Structure 1
Amino acid sequence: MKRSNAPKAPLKWDASDNDGSPLYAGVKQMILDRIQSGEWPPKHRVPSENELVAELGVSKMTANRALRELASEGELVRIQGVGSFVAERKGYSELFEVRNIAEEIDERGHTHQASVVVLAQETAAPDVADALGLPIGAPVFHSLIVHSENGVPVQIEDRFVNPEAAPGYLEQDFTAQTPNAYLTAEAPLSGSEHIVEAAMPQPWECKLLVILRTEPCLLIRRRTWSSKRAVSFARLVYPGNRYRLESRNGKMSDE
């Protein structure tokens, strides 16, 4: 993802204008003002903690809290060893609709990339066997894929597939098409189940998503069926500050 350089114009902020609020809140607002005015557009690198300390005369703790809270609120994306950047508008998924993440990203005018970490046949562990209605130890297909939007990881897709439902699964190039697209064509969807929860990332997930251990994630456990046969069981992990889910039901009117 191409990112712009740090601003050359000096930062202007007067702590006396902070109306008694904590200093970190004033620093946050100064950064937000520049983002909301368009002065700092998406992907723009914001000043580092050390730069904020030097230019604003605040403590490193104050600068850290301001940047950390803006990241947790989805205004910034912090990448270890690289810096903090103005976030693009969060991607989103329809909560009760099984959609192709590549299509969602394309609809936003962005670029989807997929990195295949695992694609292999394994034996079903008890939880996978239960989810797919198979005996423990039965053969299953396993894929682990990281989906990125404009070069930024937005989803880990950890999926187990019933070989009887999609026998050619391991032969597919999932950098060219998503498992969702392949399975929808191979075993048309007749039903789905979603369980949504907040979760702290595991160390290996932090590495794949390029996030800190302290950054919460959105976890979706999804099962799909075709003609009453379980097709796949997927564990989808999203960085909480890079994604959101939406659900709308029934008639709606702006009147």
Structure 2
Amino acid sequence: MVLTMIKPKFAQIKRFIIDKIKSGEWPEHSRIPSENELTVQFSVSRMTARRALTELSDEGILTRSQGLGTFVASFKSQSSLLEIKNIADEVKDRGGLYSCTPIILESIEAIAPIAIALGVEIDSVVYRTVLVHLENEKPIQAEERFVNPELAPEYLQQNFEHITPHEYLCQAAPLTEARHTVEAVIPSADICEWLTLYNEEPCLQVIRRTWSTKGVVSFARLVSPGSKYRLGGHLTFKK
């Protein structure tokens, strides 16, 4: 006898919304059903519908605007004021000694937020790495990266002590576009361990998605201690 696990109602609503987005029926910026509409459609409480929408918003799949409704988030590239730089080059340009410590290299099944970010099917296999970048033997950045194996099939075979993910991906799937979000965060226990932080000092987090001509190549989270890293750029304005 095979027992089938019945998903909670909020999880069923989340899957319904994700399937609509993946199929293209609900494209970017589409308004999705309200809490009240989902309550009626799935015969659930408003709290259950709200939980599904809130979790999908927290995962970056939906965006909510008070008074307007809930919409499918944008997953396309947008222009950025941040220049994509290879961290090894940044360290060397400052006269420092760059090194890298690989923590995790693995294949995993993509959960919904990762699948959508990479443009692949949910539960399909993607690559995940966690690396710590060091300057003069001191950790300055923890990098967690998810990679589309179809565009970089030999990614996990690289020796990241000698080549950075950025360098390899530029060779394997030349990058054409990128999107960044930047925010200050309090580091998780894992980040504190990777960066050897003894106090939960504020950190700078950059979420980065990169594209080649064939699609989304990678989705990365870069976290640096606020006391050890600065983010800068140079703008040139046309006259």
TM-score range, shorter chain: 0.5 to 0.7
Distance in 1 between residues matched to 2:215 and 2:193, nearest whole Å: 34
Distance in 1 between residues matched to 2:101 and 2:123, nearest whole Å: 27
Q: TM-score, length-normalised on structure 1?
A: 0.60
Q: Which blocks of at least 5 consecutive residues in structure 1 are unaligned?
A: 1-93
1:11-52 deviation line (CA, Å, top 9, x unaligned): xxxxxxxxxxxxxxxxxxxxxxxxxxxxxxxxxxxxxxxxxx
Pairing 1:202–2:196 present: no
Distance in 2 between residues matched to 1:131 and 1:219, nearest whole Å: 17
- Structure label with greater radius of gyration: 1
Distance in 1 between residues matched to 2:81 and 2:138, nearest whole Å: 22
Q: Which runs of 4+ in 1 moved over 2 A?
A: none
Distance in 1 between residues matched to 2:200 and 2:89, nearest whole Å: 30
Pairing 1:162–2:148 present: yes
2:127 partner SS: strand
Judge conservation of contact 1:202–1:213 (CA < 8 Å) in 2.
Answer: no
2:192 partner SS: helix
CA RMSD of aligned residues (A): 1.5
Alignment-mate amino acid for residue 129 of structure 2: S
Distance in 1 between residues matched to 2:183 and 2:110, nearest whole Å: 24
CA deviation after TM superposition for structure 1 residue 228, in Å: 4.7
Alignment-mate amino acid for residue 225 of structure 2: P
Decide which of 127, 139, 150 is 1:141's aligned counterpart: 127
Alignment-mate amino acid for residue 155 of structure 1: Q
Judge conservation of contact 1:201–1:213 (CA < 8 Å) in 2.
Answer: no
Q: TM-score, length-normalised on structure 2?
A: 0.64
2:231 partner SS: strand
Distance in 2 between residues matched to 1:184 and 1:99, nearest whole Å: 11
Q: 1:244 to 1:161 in 2, by over 3 A?
A: same
Alignment-mate amino acid for residue 117 of structure 2: A
Percent identical residues: 45
Instruction: Show the 5 A alignment for 1:44-83.
Output: none
Q: Which blocks of at least 5 consecutive residues in structure 2 are unaligned?
A: 1-79
CA deviation after TM superposition for structure 1 residue 95, in Å: 5.7
Judge conservation of contact 1:200–1:214 (CA < 8 Å) in 2.
Answer: yes
Aligned residues: 159
